[in-house]
Amino acid sequence: MLAIENISKRFGGLYAVREASLTAEAGRITAVIGPNGAGKTTLFALIAGFQKPDRGRIRLGNADITGQPAHQVARQGIARTFQIVQPFSGLSVLENIAVGAHLHFARRTEALAAAAEVARLLGLETIMNQSAATLTLARRKRLELARALATSPKLLLLDEVLAGLNPSEIRDMLPVIRAIRDRGITILMIEHVMQAVMSLAEQVYVLVEGHVIARGTPDEVGANPEVIEAYLGRGAAARLAGGAHG
């Protein structure tokens, strides 16, 4: 579904993303993990058209979307959520979702009908007429997800959709994400909640200082000494191995 080939983006003298390559297989959940400042959100901005890469290619299916602006990328079938959720506080939950649906439905009645269907999928049907300004963080996260889904994407980019949620709220969100995948939507997610990554993702890429240092299944990545050192510091893998043998 998505192929990123040697993508780079530099701000001044600093590489935010450096020669990074990854693929997201159709109908699967792929995760990108890495320490803070690794370049994960910049990578999403490049995919979604909010930034233009300095080098490299981005392909969605057979289409080259490198450097296309965000509105064109959205029409090609990519939607993204944001770390900091900011719904339109003057609109209802349903109207917020309809903003996304207007990408494909010009008439308000059609957009609202499509939005209502998405609201039911995300468990927001009982609060559709409630003001978005009154929502808890967990519901704002669901609304952010619903707005993106309302654009009818082929590929959904989830940027820390679980951040700030308590363990119970995270448990409730996992089946929602799986249900989206089960509808045939490919998911590429940035996530710091490792329990969720291990539970959801079939393929994991590790980004450190803008560069992909490892890829594999969650178990393979979790046992990779380079990954352990990226998170815990130099020598951590050897110390952990010594502790396991001691």
Stretch 24-34: mean pLDDT, rounded? Answer: 94
Model pLDDT, residue 192: 84
Contact 37, 73 (CB under 8 A): no
Together in a domain, 62 and 159: yes
Together in a domain, 163 and 212: yes
Contact 37, 211 (CB under 8 A): no
Together in a domain, 147 and 161: no
Model pLDDT, residue 229: 79
Domain boundary, last residue among 93, 125, 152: 152
Domain carrying residue 93: 85-152
Together in a domain, 97 and 215: no
Give the amino acid at 217. T
Q: Kindly report, residue by residue over 154-179, the tens digit of the pLDDT.
A: 999 999 999 888 999 999 999 999 99
Together in a domain, 66 and 177: yes
pLDDT over 90 at 32, yes or no: yes
> CA-CA distance, 29 to 23, in Å (whole number)?
11
Together in a domain, 38 and 159: yes
Model pLDDT, residue 8: 96
Together in a domain, 159 and 230: yes
Q: Kindly report, residue by residue over 135-146, the tens digit of the pLDDT.
A: 999 999 999 999
Stretch 129-139: mean pLDDT, rounded? Answer: 92
Together in a domain, 231 and 182: yes
To which residue do tokens 């996260």 refer? 141
Give Cα 153 to chain centroid, integer Å. Answer: 13
| DSSP secondary structure letters along 141-166 | HHHHHHHHHTT--SEEEEESTTTT--
Give the pLDDT band of residue 89 (cuts 50, 70, 90).
confident
Of the candidates 225, 227, 220, the one whose C-alpha atom is nearest the C-alpha of residue 242 is: 225
Together in a domain, 133 and 225: no
Dig out the tokens for 27 from the structure: 């109908």
> CA-CA distance, 246 to 229, in Å (whole number)?
20
Dig out the tokens for 118 from the structure: 């998405």
* Structural domains counted in the chain: 2
Cα–Cα distance list, 73 to 7, 36, 103, 233 (Å): 17, 26, 12, 38
Longest dimension (CA), the chain: 68
pLDDT over 70 at 211, yes or no: yes
